[in-house]
Amino acid sequence: MGAHQIPKTMKAMVLATPGKPLQFMELPIPVPKPQQVLLKILACGVCRTDLHIIDQELTAPKLPLIPGHEIIGMVVGVGDEVKGLKEGDLVGVPWLGYTCGSCKYCLRDQENLCEQALFTGYTIDGGYAEYTLAFEKYCFPISETYANAAGAPLLCAGLIGYRSYSKIPAHAEHIGLYGFGAAAHILVQIARFQQKKIYAFTRPGDEAAQAFALKMGAVWAGSSTESPPTKLDAAILFASAGSLVPKALQDIDSGGIVVCGGIHMSDIPSFPYAILWEERTIQSVANLTRKDGLDFFSIANQIPLRTQTKTYPLEDANRALNDFRQGRFNGAAVLIP
């Protein structure tokens, strides 16, 4: 498989039983199928979706499972039908790992809703390991600028944030971000680049996150219980608290939109029709498309984006997940094999 010396086994953190800590294992190096590449993992980000899987809020993982879908890797092996990638290429691997190309959703350019989709770190093994497989067509070429820990959060926090942002009309100027973590701290940079104004909402009392938001370019930061200083044109919810939906509806102006950017959210409480009236809209976001990725990295290469990361050795994945759950850092956690 070329100049890179590939060992017979690899280290991996494995979810054997949902609800239990990940297990440190030594596993055989996987062999790529015809349309797959073998990647040596350089970094893998830790995402809230990983917690949803481990905590059984997403209920259909393959088991045992290697989690992780914010993968930065180098191609070290290719399947027989791979044409566009070669050994040594740097790529990012996102949540969307495969689509069928033939269902009704794929045929109308909604591959993010594909009926046969496979998801990295959920229904196919992901990046909490030294090596992984990925389908060639679902790898994004990346520059050396992002081929490190700082690039890992772009593969989900960045991409799903960008897809959420793309649901907002171009004329929107005042945009609220509810939950200021991995996704929001990337998105605020894109919004500033496009001369938008960002209003950041955090957990009550989280002054560190509010200061972080202002440092990253928000024009205002406060508690999710507070009202912004002006009516918003749009709001994006990265926090998984359903109670924020009616709060955001109250914060947006007539004709505004509330975008729910997460894969899981607690129940949304009932609310009066009056706060939805005047053509306010609630929109969910599911997964991503490959076009989202290409568009996002095109912008990322113009800015370029800065991420704040806290790195952990691969074998400390459980500590990283727990620190994330407890909100012990700003930005994103990244595992380094």
Q: What domains does the chain contain, in order, with CATH numbers?
A: 9-155+307-336 (3.90.180.10), 159-284 (3.40.50.720)
3-state secondary structure (DSSP) of residue 161: helix
Could you tell me which residue, 315 or 327, shows the higher pLDDT?
315
Q: What is the mean pLDDT of the chain?
A: 95
Whether the predicted pLDDT of 32 surpasses 80:
yes
Over the stretch 185-195, which tens digit does the pLDDT of each residue have? 999 999 999 99
Please report where in the chains the tokens 């290429």 appear, as a residue: 89
The residue type at 191: A
Contact (Cβ atoms closer than 8 angstroms) between residue 41 and residue 72: yes
Over the stretch 87-96, which tens digit does the pLDDT of each residue have? 999 999 999 9
What are the structure tokens assigned to 240, written together?
A: 């998984």
Q: How confident is the model at residue 331 (pLDDT cuts 50, 70, 90)?
A: confident
Q: Which helix (H) or strand (E) holds 282?
A: strand 281-284
Q: At what angle do helices 290-302 and 157-166 cross, to 10 degrees?
A: 100
CA distance 34 to 22: 30
pLDDT at res. 3: 66
Q: Parallel, antiparallel, or unpaired: how do β-strands 232-237 and 309-313 relate?
A: unpaired
Over the stretch 230-262, which tens digit does the pLDDT of each residue have? 999 999 999 999 999 999 999 999 999 999 998
Task: Please compute the mean of the pLDDT values over residues 198-227 and round it to a whole number.
Answer: 96
pLDDT at res. 1: 43
CA 306 to chain centre: 15
Least confident of 65-74, 191-200, 217-226, 302-311: 302-311
Q: Parallel, antiparallel, or unpaired: how do β-strands 23-28 and 309-313 relate?
A: unpaired
Instruction: Report the predicted TM-score, pTM, of the whole model to 2 decimal places.
Output: 0.88
- Dihedral sign, CA of 58, 63, 64, 68? negative
pLDDT at res. 327: 84
Whether the predicted pLDDT of 152 surpasses 60:
yes
Whether the predicted pLDDT of 2 surpasses 80:
no
Q: Which helix (H) or strand (E) holds 323?
A: helix 317-325
Residues across the chain:
337
